[in-house]
Amino acid sequence: MIVNHGFHATMTARPGKGGEVVEMLLKAPSMTHEDCVVFLVGRSAGDPDVIHVTEGWVSDEAHSRFFATAPARALVESLQPLLVGESQYTDEVPVGGKAAF
């Protein structure tokens, strides 16, 4: 796995909308895109309306190209009404680990 670009995002859903946000993210077009090699969605144990997303991409350019596409823009637009405030982004490059579901 070669990951050269990534980030960790934390977003807060409107009260009671965390499940809907998670459902949309788990169907995100990033999940099946070949240049997206890490896409993890998690929830806060203490507040189910706080959602975390970790993404890893083969390059910054691949990520930028993908987010310029209509499906990616549509996902972002459809998420906005369900969120409160600005999402927080942290630069992160996944280097390994495990995710078993």
Give the CA angle between residues 48, 6, 70 to the nearest 5°: 80
Domain 5-91 class, CATH top level: alpha beta
pTM reported for the whole predicted model:
0.90
Find, among 58, 86, 85, 55, the residue nearest to 72 by Cα.
55
Q: What is the 3-state secondary structure (H, E, C) of 42-81?
A: EECCCCCCEEEEEEEECCHHHHHHHHCCHHHHHHHHHHHH
**pLDDT tens-digit profile of 25-73?**
999 999 999 999 999 999 999 999 999 999 999 999 999 999 999 999 9
Return the domain boundaries, the chain.
Answer: 5-91
Tens digit of pLDDT for each residue in 69-90?
A: 999 999 999 999 999 999 999 9
